[in-house]
Amino acid sequence: MNSGKIRRIAALSNAALEKKRLATEATDKAIRNLTSLNQSITVANVARLAGVSTSYIYKYPELKERIDSLRNQQVPVRTSQKAASNNSQTTIIYTLREEIKRLNTMLGESKNANQLLIGKIYQQQETQNLIGYFKSENKKQAQEIQELQNEIDIIKQELQFFQATKVHHHPKIIPLNNNIVSEKIIDITIYSEIKSQLELVGIKLNPTLTKLIESSSVQQVKNAISIVQETLLTGTKIRSKVGLFRKALESDWMPSQLDEEREVNQLEATFSEWYKLAKASGLVIASQKTEEGIIVYEPNGQAISFENMLERGWTLDYLQLQNQR
């Protein structure tokens, strides 16, 4: 129930009480006048002097009984003056007592009306509290929906990227002078691996670079990536990593390092990026390079190898995804 309806109910209740109070005061005054004038106290006389209808007096049994009681107490005009005086005092006392009863009744009615209004107010406050709770829950759900939408947008971007690069699941053989050349970058697993390696060295794919990769063999692309990695590890300044990668791929350059050396350097480069994210997320607190390999220390002081951490699922791709959220 809204506050406007509560106020209207209170106004009607107060108006009814006020009307009854005024009518009761008028009848009391009429009774006192009839008593002081030693006139007959009847329903008709009281109604006439009070300015109310006789039906109004009959509407309230307690008022009718009071008038009958006072009429029975009256003595004929021919009785002595002393008896009339005593009866008048008795009538006045009775009238005052009745007035006290009437006022107490009105006070009780007013208290009940106030209790009703207080109950309505409490009910309205509980409704407001529920509204506040639902608003808070809606806000939380809106935040969760936004987070899910962000994840959906990321997945859509990855899907659009794969569609734009026209990645297929079957090998594509390109004939050249009636001879068959090496297979191209078309297997989705190999493509994902190469994409990750390019991101590690800071190269982002674009349509032109993607087209060049698709026209090259897997080994040519891996060689070009290795050349960029070797150049970075030597500390040589590179004007454009993308430019170096394209030149190496177009010219079919061969890396100077052995596979074993390149794997070690690549592992160290991967670990460097992995360790930054792992430490920032509280996954590890320190690392150490040993003859057996790289080990890291968990927050509880437990030592574990880098390879075991990867096997547990704490890969670089996973940490990068967690860092984006």
Determine the Cα–Cα distance for residues 43 and 46; give it in Å rounded to an integer: 5
Task: Collapse the DSSP code of 179 into the 3-class scheme (helix H, G, I; strand E, B; otherwise coil) and give the result.
Answer: strand
Which phi and psi (to 5°) does residue 14 adopt? -65, -35
Determine the Cα–Cα distance for residues 87 and 105; give it in Å rounded to an integer: 27
The region of weakest confidence among 50-59, 83-92, 138-147, 169-178 is: 169-178
pLDDT at 287: 92
The yes-or-no verdict on residue 189 having pLDDT over 80 is no
Length of the chain equals 325
The yes-or-no verdict on residue 188 having pLDDT over 80 is no
Q: What is the mean pLDDT of residues 3-8?
A: 72
- Dihedral in degrees, nearest 10, Cα atoms 26, 31, 34, 36: -110
pLDDT at 283: 92
Determine the Cα–Cα distance for residues 26 and 194; give it in Å rounded to an integer: 103
The yes-or-no verdict on residue 286 having pLDDT over 90 is yes
DSSP 65-76: HHHHHHHHH---
pLDDT at 258: 52
Nearest alpha carbon to residue 325 among 201, 195, 159, 155: 155
Question: What is the pLDDT of the chain when averaged over all its residues?
Answer: 78
- Residue-wise pLDDT for 17-43, tens only, equals 777 787 788 888 888 888 888 788 888
pLDDT band at 161 (very low <50, low <70, confident <90, very high): low
pTM of the model: 0.27
73 and 91 Cβ atoms separated by less than 8 Å: yes
Determine the Cα–Cα distance for residues 119 and 124; give it in Å rounded to an integer: 9
229 and 201 Cβ atoms separated by less than 8 Å: yes
pLDDT band at 178 (very low <50, low <70, confident <90, very high): very low
The yes-or-no verdict on residue 278 having pLDDT over 60 is yes
The yes-or-no verdict on residue 160 having pLDDT over 50 is yes
CB atoms inside a 10 Å sphere around CB 98:
19
* Higher per-residue pLDDT: 251 or 275: 275
Residues 6+ apart with CB under 8 A from 287: 271, 275, 294, 295, 296, 297, 306
- Residue-wise pLDDT for 51-65, tens only, equals 888 888 888 888 888
Determine the Cα–Cα distance for residues 271 and 288; give it in Å rounded to an integer: 11
Nearest alpha carbon to residue 18 among 106, 89, 145: 106
The yes-or-no verdict on residue 194 having pLDDT over 90 is no
Determine the Cα–Cα distance for residues 160 and 14; give it in Å rounded to an integer: 72
179-180/175-176 β-pairing: antiparallel
315 and 321 Cβ atoms separated by less than 8 Å: no
* Higher per-residue pLDDT: 147 or 312: 312
194 and 225 Cβ atoms separated by less than 8 Å: yes
- Residue-wise pLDDT for 109-134, tens only, equals 888 888 888 888 878 887 888 888 88
